[in-house]
Each structure stands twice: as structure tokens, then as C-alpha cells.
Amino acid sequence: MTLWMDPTGTVVHDHDPYIAADGTVYPPQYPKAEICGMVEVAEPPPPEDATLIVPGTWRVERLDGVPTKVWDTVARPPAEVMARARAARLAVVQAACRQAILAGYASSALGAPHAYPNRETDQSNMAASVLASLMPGLPTDWSTPFWCADSDGVWLRRLHSAAQIRQAGVDAKAWVVACQERLNGPDGTGGLIARITAATSVAEIEAVVW
């Protein structure tokens, strides 16, 4: 298992813990881990009678000055368990939405479908390119290069006419909106977040996936 920790010593990525029928948690705790780094630790597979624990019940303590991830054994009331599970699942789907947006989108602005990048820098570059295509007095053969990949996965800075770069920009916006609507619904009151909020059990909460 690889544990990732941020500068505060908080574990930001890990695998879900399991608890056996006898109450033993697997793994019970993680040994030394470096801040802003990762550590490989041996993790025995959970027993066959293990049950997935509600996420959000780990905490990081400093044991002998070392940030160590330990299981919080304090009994939690059902309302708190639900709140923790709901918060954890909301964080998961919100992160998935962001990752989907940044992963890029498809556009047929050049005729054939091409994949376009959509990280923050790419979004800024696309906005600047579209704006440039709208400037008055452009020559009829005006074009601008923009990164995209063809069906073979070959990435090149391909020339786009004014109409083509505008269409690529329209498709970029449509992709962002589609991801946001999947997360929040068309009017901001639905989607995956609404399902998580309305769920009445931990199992129902954890069934909501991107």
C-alpha cells in the first residue's frame, strides 16, 4: 500500500480499512511515514469475514514525532456515522467531477473527432484563442494552432480556422457543463450530490459513484 501525506501530515490517499468479525481492524495502524512523501507498507489481505468500514474514521497522530495513521476506536452515534460517510462520499464525487473536467474532451471541430486537453492552462489558452478569433479585421485565412490528439493518439499543435477554434471552445464549455450537471443537476439542486444528501443509509451513500 502507498500512503500519501500532505504537508500537515494528513493522509490524503489510502485504501479503505476492513474489520473482521472479531473486531480486529486491518490494518490496525501504519508505521512511519514521511510528510510530503510516501511509504510502502506491508498490508495483509483482510480475512474472508471482513466488512468494509465506513470511511472517514481514520485519524493521524504523531507517535514519537512521526505522523502515523491510526484507527479511531471511539464509538460513534449513527447520526455521526452517516454525516462522516456523507462528507466522505461528497468529497469523492466532487474530486471525480474535477478530474473528469480536467481530463479533457472530444471535439469534431476539425471534421474528425479529436481529443482536447482541458487543464486550467488549456482552458485559459482555449479562451484566449477563441477571443483572438473574434477580433475584427482578421484575414480570411487566419488560423491558430492548438494541441489535440487524433484517433491514433498522436498529439500535435494542429491549425484551427476561426470557426474551428470557436467550435472547439463551444465543445469545451459543453463538456464542463455536462460534468457539473452530473454532479449538481441542471439547476444545481440534483445530480449525485442530491442523491448523497437524500440517502438514508451508509450503503445507499456509498452506492453513489461517478
pLDDT tens digits, 9-59: 554 444 444 444 455 544 444 433 333 333 344 445 555 555 444 444 555
Overall domain count for the chain: 2
Domain containing residue 156: 99-196
Q: Residues 6 or more apart from 139 whose CB is under 8 A from it?
A: none
Looking at the fold, whether 38 and 123 belong to one and the same domain comes out as: no
Asked if residue 204 is part of any domain, the answer here is no
Global confidence as pTM: 0.64
Burial letters 52-65, b for 16+ CB under 10 A, else e: eebbbbbebeeeee
pLDDT tens digits, 129-178: 999 999 999 999 999 999 999 999 999 999 999 999 999 999 999 999 99
Place of cell 493522509: 11
pLDDT tens digits, 67-89: 665 555 555 667 888 898 899 99
Looking at the fold, whether 10 and 45 belong to one and the same domain comes out as: yes
Looking at the fold, whether 105 and 191 belong to one and the same domain comes out as: yes
